[in-house]
Amino acid sequence: RLQSGVINRLATSAFAAYLSHKNPHIWVEHLRPFVRSMWNESDLSAFTVRYIGFTIAIFLASVVIDQFRIALSRHITVRVNS
């Protein structure tokens, strides 16, 4: 177990990030068209930088949403159990 709170939180939500990247509704309807438009509008080096940034942004957004879900779930569990 690592002693870094940030790394532990990111690891806790990594599966949520994976699910958001590979969900067919999100990927096919939203992400793939956006990535294709980036590909068509950029040269290889610009696309690479944009794609890496886009992937990191999706990962961080997924982590934030999942951390909110975890906090909400804990709050509800405490309320129900008390």
CA distances from 43 to 9, 25, 38 (A): 35, 28, 9
pLDDT digits (tens, 9 = 90+) for 14-73: 988 888 878 888 888 888 999 999 999 999 999 999 999 999 998 999 999 999 999 999
pTM higher than 0.85, yes or no? no
pLDDT for the residue numbered 1: 59
**The token pair that represents 39 in the structure block:** 């590909």
pLDDT at 9 over 90: no
